[in-house]
Structure 1
Amino acid sequence: MSVVRIGSVVVNVSDVRAAARFWSAALDYVPRYPVEDDWAILRPRRGGAYGVAPNLSLNLGETRPDAVPHVHLDLYARDQEAEVERLVGLGARRVHDWPYPEEPHDYVVLEDPDGNRFCVIDASED
């Protein structure tokens, strides 16, 4: 039986080099190959697609992301508040118009400089 794994998540961006700088700093990823104007593959500094985490590939695209994306990244953080502030310091923006539930929730929605939305999950209990 063959087993497949996620090797890479591909995100469309308007500036591949700027997105590579943001996501490399955000995730502690490094370019797998030299970053090009229209394509980059970032990999975990430690581990890889068949180890710790999948690659993040950045594709030059002209479309804007959906306000409520069909697929998004969930980033797990042991210190959610500190990670949210660090990511905002790198250029992420808080999403205030997200329909948060009234009861307590364990996630904060952010968007990268291209508007791609992602969540920072409170994983302090894990």
Structure 2
Amino acid sequence: MTTSRIGTVVMGASDVGRAAAFWKAALAYVEREPAEDDWVVLVPAEGHGVGLSLGRSGPDSPVQEVPRVHLDVYTEDQEGEVARLLGLGASRVDWPHYPPDPDFVVLADTEGNRFCVIDTTHG
């Protein structure tokens, strides 16, 4: 019996190079092979884990305000990680859907794609 696994998560970007630079720095990922203008696959520098593929998307594919799929970035130092990611070019998202005591902070990457920074020490 053949089993399946997630190989990469694919995200759209209007500027693939800019998005790749952000996610490489954010996750310590590297290019699996040289990037093209409209496509790149990033993989963990340490060699194991899910890849992140970035493909050019046009104006007919705008960023979703409340995306159905997003990335969760886990950390034990949420405040420090949020500050680091903001320094790399992420931005805070005014998120009206926070629960009373959230373990996550919603940010957007350089392309506006939403992602969460999860505090793994929270409850």
TM-score, with length taken from structure 1: 0.91
Matched, 1:76 2:74: yes
Matched, 1:110 2:107: yes
TM-score, with length taken from structure 2: 0.93
What is the number of residues matched between the two proteins? 121
Match of 1:93 in 2: 91
Is this contact kept in 2: 1:10–1:58, CA < 8 A?
yes
Give 1:85 shift: 0.4
Q: RMSD over aligned Cα, in angstroms?
A: 1.3
Match of 1:60 in 2: 56
Give the gaps of 5 or more residues in structure 2.
Answer: none
Runs of 4+ aligned structure 1 residues displaced above 2 Å come to none
Distance 2:67 2:85 in 1: 20
Give 1:104 shift: 0.8
Distance 1:16 1:91 in 2: 14
Q: 1:125 to 1:66 in 2, by over 3 A?
A: closer
Percent of paired sites with the same residue: 54
Give 1:125 shift: 5.6
- Secondary structure in 2 matching 1:100: coil
Give the gaps of 5 or more residues in structure 1.
Answer: none
